[in-house]
Amino acid sequence: KHDKAKVRNDSTGSRRRELHRLSRGSFPSVLNGSSIPKPKTTLGSGKEGDQPLFFRSQNSPQENEKMQACPQVKNILVLDSEGKRVAVKYYSDEDWPTNGAKEAFEKTVFSKTHKTNNARAEVEVTMIGSYVIVYKFVDDLHFFVTGDEDQNEVILASVLQGFFEAVGILLRGNVEKREALENLDLILLCLDETIDGGVPLETDPAVLASKVASHSMDSGAPLSEQVSSSTPEFLCLDW
């Protein structure tokens, strides 16, 4: 048991170091440990010489097979300073089949992370059971992204950071619970623009905020009654 705990701690420490390198502007290569510049675009700009990090999904067997290798997000959680829900989205009913199971998971996540002061300065990572969770705090809001233990936490962190910064843009820098609840339709729409069925669509906060804002100008209906019409573009690394 002690050996297993040591392996788990070593793994978590390694994940933290990777996330710290991400915050300094580079992705560690999963192949040889070297670093490459963090891409300036998230879904492929098509410019000559760009690193071919992402691809667009096609409805073919080959592309569907590739999608299985894409990072799968289990959920995105926004909780308040007491662990209560502000906005949550789950993409796996198999892992949490009931609302009670979801709430129990949220309680566990909050209890194990809420004292992590470093999460106010940078993205942190932890393991809970068979899940890897990246998280970041601001004011009285706690942001979490969950994936399977074999998922690349660097990609999960980029999803979290993109959503986190997009929310900051949409709330005009006033990222706290009261403002979030008053603009909950914006946050929920931002979730839909970030993830589709557990697969990342977009991680650029400026693009996310622009897409959400465009919906508010498309019609006079409240944002909560509008349906996202964006074409799915699936984020996947091609190392």
pLDDT per residue as tens digits for the range 54-105: 333 344 555 445 445 566 899 999 999 999 999 999 999 899 999 999 999 9
User: What contacts 216, CB < 8 A, 6 or more positions away?
Assistant: 223
18 vs 199 pLDDT, higher one: 199
**Amino acid present at 174:** N
Q: Give the helix/strand (H/E) hosting 90.
A: strand 85-90
What is residue 70's predicted lDDT score, i.e. its pLDDT? 62
pLDDT of residue 215: 80
> DSSP letter at 99?
H
Residue 231 lies in a domain: no
What are the residues whose beta carbons fall under 8 Å from the beta carbon of 101, sequence distance 6 or more?
Answer: none
Whether residue 233 lies inside any domain: the answer is no
Give the dihedral sign, CA 132/103/78/224: positive
> Residue 90: which CATH number?
3.30.450.60
This model's pTM is above 0.75: no
The answer as to whether 237 is a domain residue is: no
DSSP state of 52: -
- At 48 the pLDDT is 40
Is 146 within a domain?
A: yes
Which has the closest alpha carbon to 146: 116, 94, 105? 105
Note the pLDDT tens digit of each residue in 130-173. 999 999 999 999 999 999 998 988 999 999 999 999 999 999 99
Identify whether 84 is part of a domain.
Answer: yes
The 10s digit of each residue's pLDDT in 13-57 is: 655 555 555 444 433 333 233 333 343 333 333 344 433 333 333
- Residue 236 belongs to some domain of the structure: no
Asked whether the beta carbons of 236 and 67 are under 8 A apart, the reply is: yes
Q: Which of 172, 228, 194 is nearest to 78 (CA)?
A: 194
pLDDT > 60? residue 174: yes
Residue 184 pLDDT class (50, 70, 90 cuts): very high
Cβ 175 vs Cβ 221: under 8 Å: no
**168 domain residue, yes or no:** yes
In a domain, 234, yes or no: no
Structural domain for 152, as ranges: 2-225
Number of domains in the chain: 1
